[in-house]
Amino acid sequence: MQRAAALVRRGCGPRTPSSWGRSQSSAAAEASAVLKVRPERSRRERILTLESMNPQVKAVEYAVRGPIVLKAGEIELELQRGIKKPFTEVIRANIGDAQAMGQQPITFLRQVMALCTYPNLLDSPSFPEDAKKRARRILQACGGHSLGSYSASQGVNCIREDVAAYITRRDGGVPADPDNIYLTTGASDGISTILKILVSGGGKSRTGVMIPIPQYPLYSAVISELDAIQVNYYLDEENCWALNVNELRRAVQEAKDHCDPKVLCIINPGNPTGQVQSRKCIEDVIHFAWEEKLFLLADEVYQDNVYSPDCRFHSFKKVLYEMGPEYSSNVELASFHSTSKGYMGECGYRGGYMEVINLHPEIKGQLVKLLSVRLCPPVSGQAAMDIVVNPPVAGEESFEQFSREKESVLGNLAKKAKLTEDLFNQVPGIHCSPLQGAMYAFPRIFIPVKAVEAAQAHQMAPDMFYCMKLLEETGICVVPGSGFGQREGTYHFRMTILPPVEKLKTVLQKVKDFHINFLEKYA
Amino acid sequence: MQRAAALVRRGCGPRTPSSWGRSQSSAAAEASAVLKVRPERSRRERILTLESMNPQVKAVEYAVRGPIVLKAGEIELELQRGIKKPFTEVIRANIGDAQAMGQQPITFLRQVMALCTYPNLLDSPSFPEDAKKRARRILQACGGHSLGSYSASQGVNCIREDVAAYITRRDGGVPADPDNIYLTTGASDGISTILKILVSGGGKSRTGVMIPIPQYPLYSAVISELDAIQVNYYLDEENCWALNVNELRRAVQEAKDHCDPKVLCIINPGNPTGQVQSRKCIEDVIHFAWEEKLFLLADEVYQDNVYSPDCRFHSFKKVLYEMGPEYSSNVELASFHSTSKGYMGECGYRGGYMEVINLHPEIKGQLVKLLSVRLCPPVSGQAAMDIVVNPPVAGEESFEQFSREKESVLGNLAKKAKLTEDLFNQVPGIHCSPLQGAMYAFPRIFIPVKAVEAAQAHQMAPDMFYCMKLLEETGICVVPGSGFGQREGTYHFRMTILPPVEKLKTVLQKVKDFHINFLEKYA
């Protein structure tokens, strides 16, 4: 309550003292460029500089690929050059990139993709019939029957139909309309596009966007880029990072002094915090949005990643409809899904979709117009999305293998979630909430006063200092909590649970040893 | 000269009276939504409306997929429903989408892509060794050896190296640095990203962006979205749409009263105008940019599409280096390429790259940061870009077939360019400049006074009226010149030359008959 002013900041994501301005390779390029210029020809002042550039872009921060990741790259280069370190490899636990951590692609998905890519393979006996059937259907709907044509800006029609059918099944029959589905370049693209349309006004009428703290930093970055007002609401760490509607009330009331709060963003299951919202909580949030006239953004990209036996994923769409027509006819909602997470982990294809509910028809036209400027999302990513929403079913040739692969990935993730929680909680000075879902641990870490002072001396946030030391001493790359936001005076880091079980055990043991050592050193 | 005020407009693309606000399908959705709401539960006022939305997004126009294309979609649906028309199919000549027009993908490209997608195929004897070699190399550089991992935000390292090697070959040895290469989601993504960084200031200090008229409407759309100032310079239709540096001087001088002109955009070969700039012209433009301290954007996506025997493609980068160190060390340049055009026409993969020259190292860091928010361009599109810049060479197994396919596409395009020019110029009231390059005709059309009046009565631009009539009477979908910009009182349309030769002949004959009939009707 006492930090009211700090909670509403104009276009400011959480700050970390950063070396963003100078990437390592850029510094090298600068050095070589300087050598090429003859002394008598001094370089003219550049047009595009830190001073002259778009200040909103300058204000953007994105911790998941921030200074810690640049440092990880430098260390990898040093290892390649044979420089001795206390470790032999960098483990990039900073990002939810399953296949980079060794997870194998789902065979069926890649078979359909290969058939779509090179239709000559449709004659090959080495591909199953159900994969061929899906590939033919996708190609039939593409211009020139090719992934190489542009699709409609909203996405390939039959894929939008498959998405709508998937949502209807997922939500126990609550209908979905293909006209409300927009295929996107990953979920990030959908989120930033709808925010771009939503933001308007100046001064105290500028659009306020409510986001959870901790948040996934795409939100703060886009808010900054759009010069919108970030309105923080804090998740309750003492209560498994649950969302409390009283906290939403506090945040929106305080924000009204500074801006026009118009959008409420929810991440469920939570990133970086891993909580899975209860049905009751979602109902409360929807009622709050209805009451306060807020446009709801539901980031549901981890909908397949629920591990706690007590938790279930409930979509905002479904709960909205179950609350009756006063809500289902009025609350404006955009929800997001992606090919990048779940059991498939197809990040590189940049597939995703957005479903909109109660969007004004004129705004739908505006949305299609805005999307059309970029022509279309990658058609290969759209095809990948299709396979995710239209997988083999019982009785089809690939069903058994598909199910085995899917269960194996999700079963392993559930094991690793428990393993991580248990091991972190054995370490003095680390507390880890249950990982109910998603694919990250976000443990709270105790940082001694002496370490906080040392960090300040290096002009670093204390948890950035901690994570840098962890990286330099163990090769493990995690993201400091300050990159996601956290209550003042608390420190965390985000680590993926994606490494294979045995490797994850080693990683956790190394973090434990590092932490104990760190506490001793700065006692 | 007399239209000075009109030439510099704040965030205003060329206007067409449009039905953008209501897409056909959205209107249908609205109708059904209204039915679902019971009368006693009136709908609350929506949060997101045309009035409350981001006004800069509202101002965006994108003619290539604008109202004429929505109309084309409606007509296609009517044809499907069996409604009789004077034609049996809609021919979408509005967009440069080669494979949608029946062009076959380049075999080698798709073979490598299929191998990358489903690496089991690396054991298959039906794929050539040179394709396997490329696929192995790409996969080796991907996280987890998979297209499903995120790449570095700037793009896969080895692909950036291949792009740099390609540029060096293309430019006769002028060196290219992989550190200056950024892989993008099509060229559009690169162009809008660099413009986003460049735009700043308020009032008379707001960044002015010089664009050719006629232009490709991505430029006006992004300028509008960024609330930058569009500064028009007119291409010289009497002189094959050549760029005249005196016109650049006029435009920049007049713009200085209203804004801070900081960026000069060039499209070469021209879209929609098809001219190929001479080396001398490029030198003049670079000198002008140096003199006026303008950041150069060179849109060179049609670099492989040059048909006139008198013309050659010269890259801005190469000419810049040949002009000596005063220029090559000082002029800031970003140039763009794509997988979507050329001979490959792989639009759906959304592959592209941007090369930057003399970018301040701190800005490079900012660029990587901004790109990292969206994580990475589609990795499949990056792989497609790699094959375009690293095709089979003499001595390799696939070389002959690859060359045959490439020459066939480009040879046909050259034929169709000549055919189109010749046929249009036989029609009274149509004048078509030589199609030196790219893949469009942009003929000037005479519209009689009575037709102009009829258009005004329909609140349409006269060339929109003409194109709508063409679409309704023949099924041929082209884009009115007003969507690209044109000198006041002149009218044009853009039509792709991509349909197969025989079909193109039919299309041209139909346009001819329509035009003669139109002139008679409105005489």
**Chain B hits for A94, Cβ within 8 Å:** none
Q: What is the 3-state secondary structure (H, E, C) of B24-67?
A: HHHHHHHHHHHHHCCCCCCCCCCCCCCCCCCHHHHHCCCHHHCH
User: pLDDT digit string (tens) for B477-488?
Assistant: 999 999 999 999
Q: How high does pLDDT run on average in chain A?
A: 90
Cβ atoms within 10 Å of B406's Cβ, excluding its own: 18
- pLDDT for B342 equals 95
State the DSSP string of A104-171. PPPHHHHHHHHHHH-GGGGG-TTS-HHHHHHHHHHHHHSGGGSTTS---TT--HHHHHHHHHHHHHHT
- pLDDT for B1 equals 35
Identify the weakest region by mean pLDDT among A371-385, B3-17, B125-139: B3-17
* Strand, helix or coil for residue A433: coil
Confidence of residue A42 (pLDDT cuts 50, 70, 90): low
Identify the weakest region by mean pLDDT among A38-47, A325-334, B501-510: A38-47
Tell whether the model's pLDDT for residue B136 goes beyond 60: yes
**Tokens 């991509």, residue located:** B498
State which H helix or E strand residue A183 sits in. strand A181-185
Q: Is A409 on the interface with B (CB under 8 A)?
A: no
Beta partners for residue B263, in sequence order: B209, B295
Q: Do A218 and B118 touch (CB under 8 A)?
A: no
Q: Is B310 on the interface with A (CB under 8 A)?
A: no
- Cα→Cα distances A270→A195, A276, A309, A406, A440, Å: 19, 7, 17, 21, 9
**Tokens 């140096």, residue located:** B290
Tell whether the model's pLDDT for residue A30 goes beyond 70: no
Identify the weakest region by mean pLDDT among A110-114, B321-325, B372-376, B411-415: B372-376
- Cα→Cα distances A390→A163, A169, A397, B501, Å: 8, 11, 14, 39
Is the pLDDT higher at A2 or at B69? B69
Q: Do A111 and B118 touch (CB under 8 A)?
A: yes
Confidence of residue A60 (pLDDT cuts 50, 70, 90): confident
Helix spans in B347-457 (H): 361-373, 379-389, 399-425, 449-457
Identify the weakest region by mean pLDDT among A124-133, A178-187, A216-225, B40-49: B40-49
Of B55, B99, B110, the CB nearest to A143: B99
- pLDDT for A499 equals 94
User: pLDDT digit string (tens) for B311-364?
Assistant: 999 999 999 999 999 999 999 999 999 999 999 999 999 999 999 999 999 999
Of A22, A28, A370, the CB nearest to B365: A22
**Chain A hits for B57, Cβ within 8 Å:** 196-197, 366, 370
Helix spans in B439-493 (H): 449-457, 462-474
Confidence of residue B453 (pLDDT cuts 50, 70, 90): very high
Beta partners for residue A260, in sequence order: A207
CATH of B63-102+409-521, one of 3.90.1150.10, 3.30.70.270, 3.40.50.170, 3.40.50.720: 3.90.1150.10
User: pLDDT digit string (tens) for B89-123?
Assistant: 999 999 899 999 999 999 999 999 999 999 999 99
Minimal-distance CA residue of chain A relative to B359: A48
Sequence ranges of the domains in chain A: 63-102+406-521, 152-381
Cβ atoms within 10 Å of A409's Cβ, excluding its own: 20
Cβ atoms within 10 Å of B246's Cβ, excluding its own: 11
Share of chain B above pLDDT 70, in %: 92
Give the residue from A375, A386, A388 with the most B CB atoms within 10 Å of its CB, the best one to mutate: A375
- pLDDT for B43 equals 74
Q: Do A380 and B381 touch (CB under 8 A)?
A: yes
A152-381 adopts what CATH topology?
A: Aspartate Aminotransferase; domain 2 (3.40.640)
Tell whether the model's pLDDT for residue B512 goes beyond 80: yes
Task: Tell me how close the Cα of B257 comes to any Cα of chain A, in angstroms.
Answer: 19
pTM of the model: 0.90
CATH second-level architecture of B152-387? Answer: 3-Layer(aba) Sandwich (3.40)
State which H helix or E strand residue B109 sits in. helix B107-117
- pLDDT for A306 equals 97
The DSSP output letter for A97 is -
**Chain A hits for B202, Cβ within 8 Å:** none
Alpha-carbon span B127 to A152, nearest angstrom: 32
Q: Do A97 and B143 touch (CB under 8 A)?
A: yes
Tell whether the model's pLDDT for residue B206 goes beyond 50: yes
Of B20, B142, B329, the CB nearest to A37: B329
Rounded mean pLDDT, B135-145: 95
Task: Tell me how close the Cα of B23 comes to any Cα of chain A, in angstroms.
Answer: 5
Q: Is A146 on the interface with B (CB under 8 A)?
A: yes
- Cα→Cα distances B222→A447, B1, B70, B366, Å: 46, 26, 21, 19
Asked if CATH classification 3.30.360.10 holds for the domain at A63-102+406-521, the reply, yes or no, is no
Tell whether the model's pLDDT for residue B21 goes beyond 60: no
* Strand, helix or coil for residue B334: strand
State the DSSP string of B265-289. EEESS-TTT-----HHHHHHHHHHH
Beta partners for residue B299, in sequence order: B267, B336
Rounded mean pLDDT, A513-521: 95
Question: Same CATH fold, A152-381 and A63-102+406-521?
Answer: no
ipTM higher than 0.95?
no
Rg of the Cα atoms in chain A: 24
Of A22, A188, A197, the CB nearest to B375: A188
CB pairs < 8 Å spanning A and B: 356
Rounded mean pLDDT, B410-434: 96
Rounded mean pLDDT, A42-69: 84
- pLDDT for A17 equals 36
Q: Is B280 on the interface with A (CB under 8 A)?
A: no
Q: How high does pLDDT run on average in chain B?
A: 90
Of B53, B126, B381, the CB nearest to A378: B381
Give 3-state DSSP helix, strand, coil % of chain B, rounded to 5.
Answer: 50, 15, 40
